[in-house]
Chains A and B, each alone.
Chain A
C-alpha cells in the first residue's frame, strides 16, 4: 500500500514527459493506433471471405499461425530493422497481434449466420451488399465485437512491452522501476495497466449494449 501511496501521492509523477498523464496518453495512442489499423485490415477481409465463402480455410490457418508468433521477438526484430526513431517498430507487431482474433471472429460470425436467414434475405430481393450490411453484419455483430474486444485487451496488455524499446507507454513505469529498484513505480505502473485494461473491457461491453439489437442478444424477456 505504501508503494501505491508513494506512487500516486507524489505530485512529480503527475507532470512532465514521464509523468502519469503523458504515459497514459502514449499508451492510449499506441494501443488505439494498432487496433484501428488491425480493424481496417481484418474487418473488411473477414466480411469479404465470410460473405463469399472463398479463401476461408487459408485465412483461418494463416491467422492461427500468426497467433503463435512471439510478439516480443517481433518487437525486437522490428526495432533492429527499423531503429527507434519512429513508433512503427512497436505498432507493426501490435497490429500483427491484433489482426487474427478480429479476422477469425468476423469471418466465423458472418459464415455462421443461419443459412435460412441468408436465403430469406436474398429471396426478399436484397442485393449481395444489402444482405451483408443489413442482415449478416447486424446478426454477426456480437462475434465481431468479441474479436475486437479480445484484440483490444491483448494490445493494451502487450503495449506494455513497448517500453523495452525505450518508447513510452505505461510499461515504462514497470521496466524503468525494475531497472532503478523503484518498486513504487513498478507497482503503481502495474495497477495503471490493469485499470486501463478494465476500462477497455467496460467500454466494449457498453458498445455491445448500444450497437447489438435486443432481437439478436435476446436481452429482452419473452413476454
Chain B
C-alpha cells in the first residue's frame, strides 16, 4: 500500500476495485487487523484500530469472505450465532437472533438445523452474510463475497445486499475485481492500481463519465458509455400518447428504470420504440426512437 488515504462514510457502501495485486484485499484486512499496517493510521469512528485488541475489534466488525468460510462441524444456526456466543450472549437469545437473520437474508428457516455441506454455494454465502450481521455490527467488511458463485446467483445476492442495506444502513467496505459489481453496489468506488495507489475515488456515475486517467478508463472497459446510461433517469423521456402500443414491444418502468433499460427495451422491439409502463403495468406511453435519441444526446452532453 502506498499513501492510500480515504474515508468510508457511515451508512454507505464503499467499494475497493482493481486488478489482482492492487492491494484491495490487503487494505480491507488492515481495517480489522487481519494484517497490521506497518505505517499510517486507520481510524474507526475516530479511534485508531491499532489501539484495539484484534479479537475485540473483529467482534465488532462483520466479516464476509469469498468461500463463506462456514464452520463445517456446526449447524447453520450455530454458525450464524458465532459472534453472539463469543460476546457471551445467552444461548437462547443468540439463537433467536440467528433465526431472525436467516429469514432476513432470504433463507428458509428449515435450513437452520443443517450442516454447511448440505447447502449450495449461494446459500452458504447468504449464511456468511447472516453470520457477519449477527451481532449487529455498524461496519461490515466484504472480501469478494460473491465471486465464487455462478452469475445468476451472484446477481440475486447483489440485489439482496442492496435490499438489506436499504434497511440496515451499515457502513460497508466491499472488495471486488469486478467493475460491474463495483458500479452496481457502490455508493462510492475506489479504483486501485497495482502497488496500492488510489487511482480514483468517485461515485459510480462520475467514474463512468469522468475517468481520472487512462488506467481507470481502460479498467472500466469499452462499454462504459452504455453502462453510464444506467444512472440516467427516464423521467425526462418524452412520451407519445397518441400512438398505440406496438405488439410485442419491450417495456420499461417509466421514471424508475434507467435509460439503459429503456434503450434495451427499444432495441428488442420490432418497431424500435419502447413501451413505458407504470408500477401497475399500465401503459403510460410510447418512447419512440426520436425521443430516445434526444435523451441520448442530452445524456452525452450532460
Q: What is A's interface to B at a CB cutoff of 8 Å?
A: 114, 116-117, 119-127, 130, 135, 138-139, 213-216, 218, 220, 222-223
CB < 8 Å: which of A116, A214, A216, A223 contacts B65?
A116
Distance (whole angstroms) from the CB of A220 to the closest CB of chain B: 7
Q: Which residue of A lies closest to B118 (CB)?
A: A222
Contact between chains at A126 and B86 (CB < 8 Å): yes
Contact between chains at A125 and B56 (CB < 8 Å): yes
CA distance A222 to B114 in the complex (A): 9
Contact between chains at B69 and A222 (CB < 8 Å): no
Contact between chains at A213 and B74 (CB < 8 Å): yes
Q: Which residue, of B34, B60, B63, B73, has the highest number of chain A Cβ atoms within 10 A?
A: B73
Distance (whole angstroms) from the CB of A209 to the closest CB of chain B: 14
Q: Mark B52-75, 1 if CB is under 8 A from A, else 0.
A: 001111111001011111111111
CB < 8 Å: which of B71, B83, B131 contacts A117?
B71
CA distance A126 to B53 in the complex (A): 12
Report, nearest first, the 10 A-B pairs whose CB atoms are least far apart.
A120-B69, A215-B115, A125-B59, A213-B73, A125-B58, A123-B63, A138-B73, A125-B55, A116-B67, A116-B69
Query: Which residues in chain B, 102-120, are within 8 Å of chain A measured between CB atoms?
Result: 114-118
Report the contact-size class of chain B (Cβ under 8 Å from the partner): 20 to 34
Residues of B contacting A121 in the complex (Cβ-Cβ under 8 angstroms): 69, 71
Distance (whole angstroms) from the CB of A139 to the closest CB of chain B: 6
Contact between chains at A215 and B66 (CB < 8 Å): no
Contact between chains at B86 and A125 (CB < 8 Å): yes
Contact between chains at B58 and A122 (CB < 8 Å): yes
CA distance A206 to B118 in the complex (A): 24
Residues of A contacting B75 in the complex (Cβ-Cβ under 8 angstroms): 215
Contact between chains at B56 and A123 (CB < 8 Å): no
Contact between chains at B115 and A119 (CB < 8 Å): no
Q: Which residue of A lies closest to B131 (CB)?
A: A124
CA distance A127 to B82 in the complex (A): 13
CB < 8 Å: which of B55, B68, B86, B117 contacts A218?
B117
Contact between chains at A124 and B70 (CB < 8 Å): no
CB < 8 Å: which of A123, A124, A216, A222 contacts B73?
A216
Q: Which residue of A lies closest to B65 (CB)?
A: A120
Residues of A contacting B32 in the complex (Cβ-Cβ under 8 angstroms): 123
Contact between chains at B69 and A215 (CB < 8 Å): no
Q: Which residue of A lies closest to B68 (CB)?
A: A120
CA distance A127 to B87 in the complex (A): 12
Q: Which residue of A lies closest to B82 (CB)?
A: A124
CA distance A130 to B54 in the complex (A): 14
Residues of B contacting A126 in the complex (Cβ-Cβ under 8 angstroms): 55, 86
Residues of B contacting A216 in the complex (Cβ-Cβ under 8 angstroms): 72-73
Contact between chains at B116 and A123 (CB < 8 Å): no
Residues of A contacting B71 in the complex (Cβ-Cβ under 8 angstroms): 117, 120-121, 135, 138-139, 215
